[in-house]
Structure 1
């Protein structure tokens, strides 16, 4: 292999994951998050944007072939970001997982839990919780 070809292969950017790959990875991660947070089926459905129950259970059974709408991908992205931020902010995994259900005095939550806010049903609610946690990590509240 020539030096030029060798350098090109080393610096080549891997292809972006497909929507199918992102869906599968997001759904597998969400299943673990749902278990860690103790989410019941109705809470999971609400967080994912209210897909049909049959669709939800098909996603759970075979995430690798799931066809997830863009809205659900955005919800999954926010939920994974929330989970990641909590794991960073609260290194004790049990404390991080419990945080979502605890009453919170921050203005955004008004004494209710972050999960209550997330269960309002809008993707914007998930995004607000994610942005709040990012700001606590030092990213500034916008």
Structure 2
């Protein structure tokens, strides 16, 4: 699959007006993703693919001067990635939780690939599937 962001499901609509609260939430989401990626030892290029932006854009987003906003796709990605991080820490011990995304996984979803590689290749659908997979593990489904 392509490394470019998926088409925004609201792309035909007029641009959304975002409040100051939403802008603050976007900054919090970006900082949270930075922490998740640091824990997972995700490179800049990998992080950009997971967020659905170019490396250059991800580098700008990480800077303290960034004042942009996240689109719906990026917000969905952030929510799911943060949820994956939380699920891993609830399900596994600290050390395994942060290594899990880098480990080859023979589960039917991953086909022997590391979850990080699977999510990068599959974009938002793969990120959401990984989140559902972990939620099912935690719930015993």
The residue aligned with 1:58 is 60
C-alpha deviation, 1:58, in angstroms: 2.1
Q: Distance in 2 between matches of 1:24 and 1:136?
A: 30
Q: Distance in 1 between matches of 2:135 and 2:25?
A: 22
Q: Distance in 2 between matches of 1:138 and 1:56?
A: 33
C-alpha deviation, 1:69, in angstroms: 1.4
The DSSP-based 3-state class of the residue aligned with 1:81 is helix
Deviation string, structure 1 residues 76-109 (Cα, Å, up to 9, x no partner): 001000000000001x222100001111111001
Q: Is the 8 A contact 2:44 2:59 kept in 1?
A: no
The residue aligned with 2:90 is 88
Q: Is the 8 A contact 1:23 1:63 kept in 2?
A: no
* Stretches of structure 1 lacking an aligned partner (at least 5 in a row): 1-16
| Paired residue total | 122
The residue aligned with 2:81 is 79
Runs of 4+ displaced beyond 2 Å: 62-66
Q: Distance in 2 between matches of 1:52 and 1:34?
A: 14
- Structure number, greater radius of gyration: 1
Relative distance call for 1:100 and 1:52 in structure 2 (3 A) is closer
Q: Is the 8 A contact 1:20 1:64 kept in 2?
A: no
Which structure has more RCO (C-alpha within 8 Å, separation ≥ 6)?
A: 2
TM-score (norm 1): 0.78
TM-score (norm 2): 0.79
C-alpha deviation, 1:64, in angstroms: 6.9
Q: Distance in 2 between matches of 1:35 and 1:48?
A: 14
Q: Does 1:46 align with 2:49?
A: yes
Q: Could you say what the CA RMSD is over the residues aligned between the two structures, in angstroms?
A: 1.8
Matches within 5 A, 1:111-130: 111-130=112-131
* Stretches of structure 2 lacking an aligned partner (at least 5 in a row): 1-19
